[in-house]
Amino acid sequence: MPGYASIAATALAVTFAVASLEAQSQSELWGAAGEKWAPESRLPDFSFAGYRRGEESYRIPEETVSVVDFGARGDGESDDTSAFREALAAGAGQRVLVPAGRYVLSEVIEISRSGTVLQGEGGDRSVLLFSRPLEEIDPRPTTNGSGLPTTTWSWSGGLIRVTGSGPTTGSRIPVAEAESRGALSIAVPNSSFSAGDEILLTQQDSSAELGLVRHLYRDQAGDIARFGNASVKQVFRVRGVEGSRLLLDRPLRFDLRPEWEANVARFEPGTTDVGVEGLGFEFPETRYAGHWQERGYNPVEFGGGTAHCWMRGVRLLNADNGPFLNGFFSTVEGLSIEAGRRRVSEDGVTGHHGVTLGGGDNLCTGMRMQTKFFHDATVTRGSVGNVFSKIVAVDFNMDHHRAGPYENLFTDIDAGYGSRLFHSGGAVGRGRHTAAGATFWNIRTRQNVAWSDDFGPDLINVVALRTRERAATDPAGRWVEAIRPGAVDPPDLHLAMLERRLRQQGGEPSSGSATSASGTSVPGMSAPGTDAREWQSVDGRTIVARYGGMEDGAVILLREGQTFRVPLERLSEASREFAKQLSAGAAPDGN
């Protein structure tokens, strides 16, 4: 498998000679358990990212239908499009099962009913073979930001399309008073909101001065001559009402100013709790034609009117793009992106965008990027509060695509070689690649990395990264905290923030589970990214490493930017049992 270190006898002897976890270091932005953090801190609150804000397991319906019952053959030759559409229509709001097989599909499959889960038996067993790209099904010719001819499917769209109305209902009510970032209440006179309601706060600025853009970049926006209208959004749950003030369950991410047309509306996305899981998507193994030449072999798109959806245990082979998440509070978990040898271009690239989190408070966790895309992980215009975590890649790329992506987190990532970590796209004239609050925490590479002056403002946060940049911890300026990657505590900032919030609320985090609330596991779905623990070999040697998954009778162990593939028979009985329990999605005994 690309990127895996050899587990020859010498490597095994070296790694298992380590007997205990090295001393951990803590960041001045967080401390041991969040005691150094405050809502107005330069470090944003990322605890709400992902399905149901990390507070629930996936809602899996008990009722089922099967595509086979509607005539799907799964023989790799017959066109099963009609059977899939009929099954999804009849099974709306239910689990629509896709038994093991190879299903040819020739049209877009749409899901718009809340609670519908398209569930296969594993990415290698239940495989969808789309015979036509989106540009052939629904041509959308256009030009890119530089005027070059392309198609909108080069950077958007899905052959499975999850759609919904909204995400708001009712009228928009203006916010009456200015507020500062970190505030926990806002003035909204004459509203009918009450405790427990969810609201979407939107702020936009179409003025020539683009004051909102300058604020998001903390007055270091760079060239914004072609930025266009600016907007930023955040969802809240109302804790209570005091006079005209709504008490909020989370801090404001940005300042509010009436001249920026701040308003609130009821947050009621049209489609929720849709899942796509346990499936493989395979596309033709043709050579990747290059940047902007993609034809739309894209698996799944979640639209802007969706929320609390998920995609897990999915395998992509030879895709032009990976999933696009444009809504709120949704999760991509355990995704594997792969490509055949004939797919690789002269530049060693096989696709455009790996995973794009284009909405708010979305989460991509446990992904294995086993090939190189032009952009492995993308945040762009409208991306606010999203999280990428526990990713293993060959040579990871964190694309910040200009136009103001704001307060997004990359944490606990094995980035592989690190030759292009901060390389980013986006049209010139739309600001620096990222706005303020971008946070990079515990990212492990095999070499020192750097970023350009055009990447972002001073107010981004870099903690535990091998870098050529000088260390600096200026509360009002640059923050590059010199902690060795792999030695920072906590290793995953998102999980640490979530656990702290839920402890304060008297709950437990549910993110990262490979088992649903109804007990339904996803075949082939392991639980990568658990905390570091001690693993023991059959001859008594030990290594402290994180679990990265199971594959072909071997356990994948992650340590200090390297990935080791250890055959199960080389592990002690206790370590083998621990790995098997994690692979099955069960809670390991005694942990």
Torsion angle, alpha carbons of 367, 372, 374, 375, to 10: 20
134: closest CA among 269, 321, 305? 321
- 219-225, long-range: CB < 8 A, 24+ apart: 219/457, 220/432, 220/456, 220/457, 220/458, 220/459, 221/431, 221/432, 221/435, 221/457, 222/431, 222/432, 222/454, 223/428, 223/429, 223/430, 223/431, 224/429, 224/430, 224/431, 225/429
Give just the sign of the alpha carbon dihedral 507, 508, 513, 515. negative
The pLDDT assigned to 546 comes to: 73
What is the token pair recorded at 78?
A: 């017959």
520: closest CA among 162, 89, 101, 119? 119
Residue 500 pLDDT exceeds 70: yes
The pLDDT assigned to 588 comes to: 44
Residue 12 pLDDT exceeds 80: no
Distance CA 390, CA 369 (A): 11
The helix (run of H) or strand (run of E) holding residue 237 is: strand 230-242
For the whole model, what pTM was predicted?
Answer: 0.87
- Quick one: pLDDT band at residue 525, thresholds 50, 70, 90? low
- Quick one: pLDDT band at residue 523, thresholds 50, 70, 90? low
What is the token pair recorded at 166?
A: 């909204």
The helix (run of H) or strand (run of E) holding residue 575 is: helix 573-583
356: closest CA among 370, 371, 367, 348? 367
The pLDDT assigned to 519 comes to: 41
- Quick one: pLDDT band at residue 541, thresholds 50, 70, 90? confident
State the average pLDDT over residues 469-492: 95
Residue 10 pLDDT exceeds 70: no
Give just the sign of the alpha carbon dihedral 136, 138, 144, 148. positive
SS (H, E, C) 251-287: CCCCCECHHHCCEEEEECCCEECCEEECCEEECCCCC
Strand 398-400 and strand 198-205: the pairing is unpaired
Higher pLDDT, 582 or 85: 85
Distance CA 447, CA 451 (A): 13
State the average pLDDT over residues 350-373: 97
The pLDDT assigned to 14 comes to: 35
Residue 170 pLDDT exceeds 70: yes
Distance CA 541, CA 570 (A): 10
Whether the bond between 490 and the residue before it is cis, its omega within 30 degrees of 0, is: yes
Q: Which of 18-27, 160-169, 444-453, 546-555 has the lowest mean pLDDT?
A: 18-27
376: closest CA among 390, 393, 363? 393
The pLDDT assigned to 320 comes to: 98
What is the token pair recorded at 478?
A: 């640059």
Whether the bond between 167 and the residue before it is cis, its omega within 30 degrees of 0, is: yes
Please say whether the beta carbons of 126 and 98 come within 8 A. Answer: yes
Q: How crowded is residue 319: how many other Cβ atoms within 10 Å of its Cβ? A: 27
State the average pLDDT over residues 570-575: 86
Higher pLDDT, 549 or 499: 499
103: phi then psi, degrees, rounded to nearest 5? -105, 120
Give just the sign of the alpha carbon dihedral 489, 492, 494, 498. negative
The pLDDT assigned to 516 comes to: 37
Distance CA 319, CA 89 (A): 27
Burial of 351 (0-12, 13-18, 19+ CB in 10 A): buried
Amino acid at 471: A
Residue 518 pLDDT exceeds 70: no
The pLDDT assigned to 144 comes to: 85
Distance CA 306, CA 61 (A): 18
Please say whether the beta carbons of 116 and 94 come within 8 A. Answer: yes
Rounded to whole angstroms, the maximal C-alpha distance in the chain is 72
The pLDDT assigned to 510 comes to: 60
pLDDT digits (tens, 9 = 90+) for 250-291: 999 999 998 999 999 999 999 999 999 999 999 999 999 999
549: phi then psi, degrees, rounded to nearest 5? 130, 175
State the average pLDDT over residues 469-479: 94
DSSP state of 183: -
State the average pLDDT over residues 240-246: 96
State the average pLDDT over residues 530-553: 72
The pLDDT assigned to 307 comes to: 98
DSSP state of 5: B
Distance CA 78, CA 76 (A): 6
The pLDDT assigned to 563 comes to: 63
The pLDDT assigned to 538 comes to: 79
Could you tell me how far CA 62 lies from the centroid of its own chain? 27
pLDDT digits (tens, 9 = 90+) for 118-165: 999 999 999 999 999 999 999 999 998 778 899 999 999 999 999 999
Torsion angle, alpha carbons of 211, 214, 218, 221, to 10: -170
156: closest CA among 311, 284, 325? 325
State the average pLDDT over residues 475-481: 96
- Quick one: pLDDT band at residue 522, thresholds 50, 70, 90? low
Residue 479 pLDDT exceeds 70: yes
Torsion angle, alpha carbons of 130, 136, 141, 144, to 10: 30
| Location of structure tokens 């930025």 | 227
The pLDDT assigned to 577 comes to: 85
The pLDDT assigned to 542 comes to: 72
Task: Share the mean pLDDT of the chain.
Answer: 90
State the average pLDDT over residues 47-66: 97
State the average pLDDT over residues 353-373: 97
Give just the sign of the alpha carbon dihedral 464, 465, 466, 470. negative
Which residues pair with residue 179 across a beta bridge?
A: 256
SS (H, E, C) 419-439: CCCCCCCCCCCCCCCCCCCCE
pLDDT digits (tens, 9 = 90+) for 282-330: 999 999 999 999 999 999 999 999 999 999 999 999 999 999 999 999 9
State the average pLDDT over residues 418-424: 97
Burial of 560 (0-12, 13-18, 19+ CB in 10 A): middle
Which residues pair with residue 246 across a beta bridge?
A: 186, 241
